[in-house]
Amino acid sequence: MTHNETSKFAFVAVFFVALAAFPFFSGNFGVDLVSKIMIYAIFALSLELLVGGAGLVCFGQAAFFGIGAYMAVLLSPESEPASLLWLLPAAVLAAGLYALVVGSLSLRTKGVYFIMVTLAFAQMAYFVVHDTPLGGGSDGIYLNMKPGLGSLIHLDSPVAMYFFTLACLVAVFVFLAVLLRSRFGRALAGIRVNEQRMRATGFSTYPYKLAAFTLSGAIAGLAGFLFAVKDGFVNPEMMSWHLSGAVLVMIILGGLGHLRGALIGAFAFALLQEFFKSEAIFGDFAKHWHLGLGLVIIAAVAFLPHGLVDLPAQLRARLAGGLTGGSELGGAATKKG
């Protein structure tokens, strides 16, 4: 294992250990906030597989997120808690099946046309739950009883929900890390770099892209399921294009091509959002929190084009440059004297 790989592994290990210890030092608000951010991190990882892994910019990721959320509510019985053993796989499967349908059609297009087709399919799903009784219309629907697993897991407790979400986040991260190092992951990397060359070497790229798209949708469905269970409520805004745009900003902010970037971007985006929304800090200006958040994101993209994940490397380079410059000046002064 190289020094670079060791530092990456150390960062991820410390990151997850810190998340595991966080509830013991925080109140209910902090636990709920970080639970939400971890769900966004899973959502960001799902899109990172597409954009960073295969070079496919999808603008309809919120549809899979929303389908997973709605399935969690629609399939739950009203009189008793559902079992996680079947409800969670059902929600993930529903999102994955819709992703399979969307991907099989949209992947026949490229570039901006692919982006627009995925957006169109997402808007279709949005209007199905917004304009029909199926999803409760614009008011949304409530989850009567949160699912569990007998006496082992009770997701009614915020702390239990926190650790269950953390376990899902770790599982998704490890799964994608292994997947992207496999032959499948290397094929996706080749497609991202030069799809025409991959075809010339004998790879049928369409099945690889479709598999990645379907898997990405299923993971987004998992995030939506967790979000619905945490809040006990779903509404059509969970499928809006605004959310697809937000998760795209997360992975760009964190750094494309890095799973760590998806984690960092999700936390940075959500925490910045909470910061600029704070009336205690910004007073009436908190109503215009989009302005402050937008300016910070623009500055981050301008000064860190490779994302926040590249910040340590830039700091080391500047520090090394400063030390080198200082040594050269000192040597010149010595020679002059």
- In this structure, the answer to whether residues 181 and 80 fall within a common structural domain is yes
- In this structure, the answer to whether residues 239 and 274 fall within a common structural domain is yes
Segments forming the whole domain that contains residue 101: 31-306
d(CA 335, CA 151): 78
- In this structure, the answer to whether residues 188 and 330 fall within a common structural domain is no
pLDDT at 92: 96
- In this structure, the answer to whether residues 104 and 145 fall within a common structural domain is yes
Q: 76-106, pLDDT tens digit by residue?
A: 888 788 888 899 999 999 999 999 999 999 9
The CATH number given to whatever domain includes residue 61 is 1.10.3470
- Residue 23 placed within a domain: no
The tally of domains found in the chain comes to 2
pLDDT at 329: 46
In this model, does residue 135 exceed pLDDT 90?
A: no
Higher pLDDT, 335 or 107: 107
- In this structure, the answer to whether residues 226 and 275 fall within a common structural domain is yes
- In this structure, the answer to whether residues 322 and 271 fall within a common structural domain is no
- In this structure, the answer to whether residues 319 and 233 fall within a common structural domain is no
- In this structure, the answer to whether residues 182 and 285 fall within a common structural domain is yes
Rounded average pLDDT over 184-188 = 91
Rounded average pLDDT over 302-318 = 80
- In this structure, the answer to whether residues 213 and 329 fall within a common structural domain is no
- In this structure, the answer to whether residues 262 and 321 fall within a common structural domain is no
pTM above 0.95, yes or no: no
pLDDT at 334: 45
